[in-house]
Chains A and B, each alone.
Chain A
Amino acid sequence: EDQVTQSPEALRLQEGESSSLNCSYTVSGLRGLFWYRQDPGKGPEFLFTLYSAGEEKEKERLKATLTKKESFLHITAPKPEDSATYLCAVQAWETSGSRLTFGEGTQLTVNP
């Protein structure tokens, strides 16, 4: 069974204080790992896809990296508008169809 664990559950940062969110996964074979951002009361919004260990993707203050067991979402000099819940999801090779397995998310709060 595919499993995704995100840590920490919640993170409070001061504006400008860089940090990282973790996504650990257990799958039979990773086809892809996806990061999403979710604002309160809204649907998740796609950020990145990573396919193989060593891969990195960047977008503004966010950088996602991937190893064989985990992914990190690095947030550099965050701003209050980066406050959201960040979700990680995996697609395994043996998983039926195109279903994704999601972690429970990390709720990030950035204080001004």
Chain B
Amino acid sequence: DVKVTQSSRYLVKRTGEKVFLECVQDMDHENMFWYRQDPGLGLRLIYFSYDVKMKEKGDIPEGYSVSREKKERFSLILESASTNQTSMYLCASRGGPYTEAFFGQGTRLTVV
């Protein structure tokens, strides 16, 4: 059974903290993605990576960075958390443009 695992289901952080969200996939997929999901706004792409050490900005990269040092792991970094980054964060991986994306269970981040 394919798996995308996110390190935390729920996270509460303080404004200004540096936050790391981790995602691991066991499918040997080249492509990995970070989305945030907010009511009324749907799924919005923050960053994606198509290979180790390669990354590309999505639609809303401001305030975020990413790291992909190993093929199976993709990290999302909030350099200085702000309350407007309170959201559900979803990681996904995908083998290629003709295949479906697999999602993790999500991390509900609250910044206070």
Which of chain B's residues have a CB closer than 8 A to the CB of A32?
A: 97-98
Contact A87 B43 (CB under 8 A): yes
Which of chain A's residues have a CB closer than 8 A to the CB of B41?
A: 104
Given contacts A97-B31, A99-B48, contact A31 B42 (CB under 8 A): no
Query: In the docked arrangement, what's the CA distance between A97 and B35, Å?
Result: 15
Contact B33 A99 (CB under 8 A): yes
Interface size class of A (residues with CB under 8 A): 20 to 34
The contact of B97 among A45, A98, A103, A104, by CB within 8 Å, is A98
**Nearest CB of chain A from residue B1's CB, rounded to whole Å:** 12
- The B8-45 residues at the A interface (CB cut-off 8 A) are 31, 33, 35, 40-43, 45
Contact A103 B101 (CB under 8 A): no
Given contacts A32-B98, A34-B100, A99-B48, contact A43 B106 (CB under 8 A): yes
Contact A44 B103 (CB under 8 A): yes
Q: B109 in the interface, Cβ–Cβ < 8 Å?
A: no
Q: B105 in the interface, Cβ–Cβ < 8 Å?
A: yes
> Which residues in A have some Cβ–Cβ distance to B below 8 Å?
31-32, 34, 36, 41-46, 49, 51, 87, 89, 91, 96-100, 102-105
> Which residues in B have some Cβ–Cβ distance to A below 8 Å?
4, 31, 33, 35, 40-43, 45, 48, 50, 56, 58, 90, 92, 94, 96-106, 108
